[in-house]
Structure 1
Amino acid sequence: MDFTMDMSKFYAGRSLFLTGVTGFMGKVLLEKILRSCPDVSKIYVLIRPKKSLLPHERLASIFDSPLFAKVIKENANCKDKVISVSGDVLQPHMGISEEDNSHIQEDVSIVFHCAASVRFQEPFRDAIESNVRSVDRVIELSKKMRKFEVLVHLSTAFAYCYRKHIEEKFYPINVNPKDLLNCSRWMSTEMMEKLAPSLLGDHPNTYTYTKSVAENLLLHHGIEHRTVIVRPSIVTSSWKEPMAGWCDSMNGPVGLVITFGKGLLRTMLGKRSAAANFVPVDVPINLMLAGAWKNVTQRNYESEPTIYNCTNPDSNRFLWGDLSDLLAYNAKLLPLDKPARIPLYGSSISPNRLRNKLEWIFCHWIPAYTVDGILRIARKRPKFVRWYKKINSMCDCLNYFTVRSWKWENNNKQELQKIMSDKDKKTFYFDTSTLDWNKYIEDYHMGVKRYILHEKMDELPNTRKWIQRRQTISKILKGLLLFLILYSLLQYDFVSQSNILIACLFLFVHSAISYWMDPGQQPISKLR
């Protein structure tokens, strides 16, 4: 084996098998392989039929995404290398037909397993089936491949989130993975839900727990030395390729970008000083491809799979406070169309739970019920309470991560970086030490606007004018309300005139400070 072989040449002539290709990361992985490894032989992609769409029809819709525009423009025939395989990781033998199974076992040498349920509050049994049993089935298929070289499994940096310091190694869990799979097979759903709290322990949800179980399943399956595990932290939009800011998933911080930009989210629980360990989606994808290359070309037959923590270095930390400020800045600079409320241009994050609950009552629930009441009177469909229930559920899922910080070791990732050629470091980059967070969050905001909300840039001037008009009306109404209150107090002599003047002075100073300290008024360079 040529240890100095470029990665694109390494993948030339090889056939790959991908799961989860209809998901956010799976799509990016497929596009990256087609664009940066153009001489790959075949790519078998497992796709389940959905509603009235057959697997090949779902694959065609994937290629219609803006994500693939660049690679298809460069090589229109690249789609011919991709073969849709009808199947489902939740079915026995992944639901793959005998004919497809025969082709996969004969051709495939590298497996990338991306399929998983990323819902934090998934029912326990469903999470086990999606995140653990699917791994077991991929392992069994890999063992049957005649040319098998390496299995790359996509995990999460939060698989052991109950630990503050996480190394690139396995940690013991409280159950044998095979025993848990057996329990899931014969126990009722109700029994599994009753069992869940005792097994979850310090895990905040079923997602992180089942991811840790899946990793330990990979530890003892007979091909440990031919297994790579990549653990990304919070995966966000693309950094560089194929375009900055691309995303099509509502998971993770996308919900914050939308609800903040639409003016709905006014406050959230979190520490400004806690690290928001975001990682652009193209970074773990490149690391997966590089990890497979190293495992095959420089295999040392270790007894355990190689693990890569895909997180940001301490030298380029990004904090939840930074995110809050940048969301405020971008909500003003690049507003989303038709905001439900005027976006809040000040900091909206606090670690105080009591304060957060009170702010939720006064800033979210009371306005929501008030407006919905007005809508009912006008015989229109109420919607704000329903929206805020969803936003509250989203925030509850994120709260565990917004008030904590972790330290991840990434020695394996650094060693991998060292042995890569300069060419491969550019093509398969995963070093985020040079990532400009100000620019990246702006691209992220624009990516959500373009690719998820499908809003047009030419509407920005109209949206800015709409917000300015609403702000002006709001200030006039507040001024009138204040005038009426003061007039009433003076008329009935409830308080002395001097106290009223002091109150007016206080309100004036408070408003001035709020205006000048508004991060939306500052240059972005001052936000970091």
Structure 2
Amino acid sequence: MLLRVKKGKAVQERLKAVLDDPLFEELLKEQPNFVNKLEIVEGDSSEDNLGIDDKTWARLSDEVNIIFHVAASVNFRESLKIATFTNIKGTREILKLAKACKHLKSVVHVSTAYSHATKDRIKGDVKDDFYQSPIPPETMIQLAKSVGDDKLDAMIEPFMDQWPNSYAITKAVAEELVRVMGEGLPICIVRPAIVVSAYREPKLGWVDVKNAYGPSGIILGLGLGVIRTLLADNIKIDFVPVDIVTNTMITAALETHDRYIAGNQQPIIYTVSGKRNPLTFWELVDVVNNEGRALIPTKALWYCGAFITPYKFLYLILTLILHYIPAAIIDGCCLLVGQKARLFKVHNLVRSLSSALAYFTNNEWNFHDANTLSLHNKLSETDKVIYNCDISSVDMKEFVLVWCYGVVKYIVKEDMENRSYALWKQSVLRIVHYIVLPLYLYGLFKLTIWSRFCKTK
């Protein structure tokens, strides 16, 4: 496993932090010494030769059989320079290692279903096939090396017209590297849609705590009562469980090897999408507001409920009325009594999250996934259970509840023992909400009338 030194933390320290995650509890019970099987390679995927010394590179070339390339910058607001070094150059360096491996069986490159979900394909098809790259990979890498951030942004701006952010466009360019540089290698691409919590394994509802700054932040914000409005259309959303994606990666590695030794060296793309079992965004919110209310965290600040709108102007008005004005009032009161002002900062995070996800919560695409379906259907009946990669087997409404459970347990870090208190608190907050909201809106209305009257005088 390739790990880099980050924020002054050595790779062994970072590995310990990873293994302390509840994700590994069951594995530790079954195989307490599994950690001894892990070999950590210190390096950095954005550097030449992955930042690996010559001796380690030679050893990897001799011993590695299968490569899972999952390293990526997934920050939608990442600078083009950093996204290029991590997502494009990192892919190039992995492919260099793959070409050097003497006993290579399979390479799985993890991309995203949104790599070619461009604006001109909204409501249209995105095939499980290669598309033309917006810019040659080597050109992008050389530009990132030779010019500053502002100049790079200006130069790439014409190519960004069809892509929503630096993440999506750099993943599209990285796929071109796989197509061209991966020629002759046993290689495939897995394109998952929006990856969220585990559906069944290794632990029900497990979700990475960092996902609070991604899609799980929506569930978290709704549950805590801090998200009162969302910019989203009633589209079919494409959230997929992480265990379905992982199973697809494992089985894709095997099929890629089998195809290669059978003489089929054409790279294949496996898309993991919820298209066979669709759920609309409003259905998701409805599940959270109703059945999911039993899973509301005890730390909720307000009654769970939100106004959903696809209209940006209305969303901005609702954000001002339901987020920022109450935040200013509450933060002001906190400062008066010597407490920390936090709510305004929280709503800035909420708005940033909503803005980052807006392209995906207001648009939909028809992702083709025939290769993934075929992959699943070729498995034995036993393997279909162990390595389930069939999204249609997922009860999506049940999955939303599992996801809610995971957010409370693994992000909020609450046990589920105080459900009666959490439900009682929601009942009380509901009464308070429906008393305070009309009074608050009436007060704003009167204040607006009064301010206009003062101006006319």
Q: Distance in 1 between matches of 2:147 and 2:439?
A: 64
**Residue 311 in structure 1 maps to residue 256 in structure 2:** no
| Equivalent residue number for residue 451 of structure 2 | none
| Equivalent residue number for residue 65 of structure 1 | 21
After the TM superposition, which of the residue ranges 163-172 and 75-84 deviates more from structure 2? 75-84
After the TM superposition, which of the residue ranges 460-469 and 138-147 deviates more from structure 2? 460-469
Among 178, 181, 184, the alignment partner of 1:221 is 181
After the TM superposition, which of the residue ranges 461-470 and 398-407 deviates more from structure 2? 461-470
Q: Is the 8 A contact 1:218 1:224 kept in 2?
A: no
Which runs of 5 or more structure 2 residues have no equivalent in the other structure? 444-457
Q: 1:297 to 1:473 in 2, by over 3 A?
A: closer
| Equivalent residue number for residue 155 of structure 1 | 111
**Residue 277 in structure 1 maps to residue 233 in structure 2:** no
Q: Is the 8 A contact 2:112 2:171 kept in 1?
A: yes
Identity between Structure 1 and Structure 2 (%): 28
Shift of 1:148: 1.4
| Equivalent residue number for residue 449 of structure 2 | none
Alignment of 1:326-341 (within 5 A): 326-330=287-291, 332-341=293-302
| Equivalent residue number for residue 359 of structure 2 | 400
| Equivalent residue number for residue 368 of structure 2 | 409
Q: Distance in 1 between matches of 2:14 and 2:145?
A: 30
- Secondary structure in structure 1 of the residue aligned to 2:115: coil
Q: Distance in 1 between matches of 2:439 and 2:318?
A: 24
- Secondary structure in structure 2 of the residue aligned to 1:458: coil
Among 3, 9, 12, the alignment partner of 1:56 is 12
- Secondary structure in structure 1 of the residue aligned to 2:390: coil
Shift of 1:462: 2.4
Q: 1:267 to 1:103 in 2, by over 3 A?
A: same
Shift of 1:348: 2.7
- Secondary structure in structure 2 of the residue aligned to 1:73: helix
- Secondary structure in structure 2 of the residue aligned to 1:362: helix
- Secondary structure in structure 2 of the residue aligned to 1:308: strand
Amino acid at match of 1:400: Y
**Residue 261 in structure 1 maps to residue 220 in structure 2:** no
Q: Distance in 2 between matches of 1:115 and 1:481?
A: 48
**Residue 371 in structure 1 maps to residue 330 in structure 2:** yes
Which runs of 5 or more structure 1 residues have no equivalent in the other structure? 1-44, 485-528
Q: 1:46 to 1:483 in 2, by over 3 A?
A: closer
Shift of 1:436: 1.2
Q: Distance in 2 between matches of 1:279 and 1:210?
A: 22
**Residue 187 in structure 1 maps to residue 143 in structure 2:** no
| Equivalent residue number for residue 131 of structure 2 | 171
Q: Is the 8 A contact 1:110 1:148 kept in 2?
A: yes
Alignment of 1:410-425 (within 5 A): 410-425=369-384
**Residue 468 in structure 1 maps to residue 427 in structure 2:** yes
**Residue 131 in structure 1 maps to residue 92 in structure 2:** no
Task: After superposition, give the CA deviation of every residue in 1:350-376 in whole Å (9 maximum; x if it has no partner).
Answer: 222232222112111211122222223
**Residue 293 in structure 1 maps to residue 293 in structure 2:** no
Among 29, 41, 48, the alignment partner of 1:85 is 41
Shift of 1:301: 4.2
Shift of 1:124: 0.9
Q: Distance in 1 between matches of 2:65 and 2:3?
A: 19
Shift of 1:303: 5.5
**Residue 322 in structure 1 maps to residue 283 in structure 2:** yes
Q: Distance in 1 between matches of 2:303 and 2:115?
A: 38
Shift of 1:317: 0.8
Structure whose CA Rg is larger: 1
- Secondary structure in structure 1 of the residue aligned to 2:181: coil
Q: Is the 8 A contact 2:225 2:303 kept in 1?
A: yes
Q: Is the 8 A contact 2:128 2:368 kept in 1?
A: yes
Q: Distance in 1 between matches of 2:151 and 2:301?
A: 43
Q: 1:478 to 1:196 in 2, by over 3 A?
A: closer
- Secondary structure in structure 2 of the residue aligned to 1:50: coil
After the TM superposition, which of the residue ranges 199-208 and 408-417 deviates more from structure 2? 408-417
Q: Distance in 2 between matches of 1:439 and 1:205?
A: 31
Q: Distance in 1 between matches of 2:439 and 2:377?
A: 66
Among 23, 30, 37, the alignment partner of 1:74 is 30
Amino acid at match of 1:95: G
Amino acid at match of 2:421: N
Q: 1:412 to 1:225 in 2, by over 3 A?
A: farther
- Secondary structure in structure 1 of the residue aligned to 2:297: coil
Q: Is the 8 A contact 1:121 1:205 kept in 2?
A: yes
The normalised TM-score by structure 2 is: 0.90
Q: Distance in 1 between matches of 2:176 and 2:65?
A: 23
Task: After superposition, give the CA deviation of every residue in 1:86-107 in whole Å (9 maximum; x if it has no partner).
Answer: 1111222212133322321111
After the TM superposition, which of the residue ranges 395-404 and 335-344 deviates more from structure 2? 335-344
> Higher relative contact order by CA 8 Å / sep ≥ 6: 1 or 2?
2
Q: Is the 8 A contact 1:168 1:308 kept in 2?
A: yes
| Equivalent residue number for residue 57 of structure 2 | 101
Amino acid at match of 1:355: L
**Residue 203 in structure 1 maps to residue 163 in structure 2:** yes
- Secondary structure in structure 1 of the residue aligned to 2:393: coil
Q: 1:201 to 1:301 in 2, by over 3 A?
A: farther
Alignment of 1:380-391 (within 5 A): 380-391=339-350
Task: After superposition, give the CA deviation of every residue in 1:103-126 in whole Å (9 maximum; x if it has no partner).
Answer: 211110110000001111111111
Shift of 1:416: 1.6
Q: Distance in 2 between matches of 1:469 and 1:279?
A: 34
After the TM superposition, which of the residue ranges 218-227 and 474-483 deviates more from structure 2? 474-483
Shift of 1:271: 1.7
Q: Distance in 2 between matches of 1:215 and 1:48?
A: 24
Amino acid at match of 2:59: H
Q: Distance in 2 between matches of 1:478 and 1:341?
A: 12
Q: 1:481 to 1:104 in 2, by over 3 A?
A: closer
Q: Is the 8 A contact 1:330 1:445 kept in 2?
A: no
Q: Distance in 2 between matches of 1:435 and 1:76?
A: 31
The normalised TM-score by structure 1 is: 0.78
Q: Distance in 2 between matches of 1:480 and 1:236?
A: 38
Q: 1:192 to 1:417 in 2, by over 3 A?
A: same
Shift of 1:445: 0.7
**Residue 231 in structure 1 maps to residue 191 in structure 2:** yes
Alignment of 1:372-521 (within 5 A): 372-474=331-433
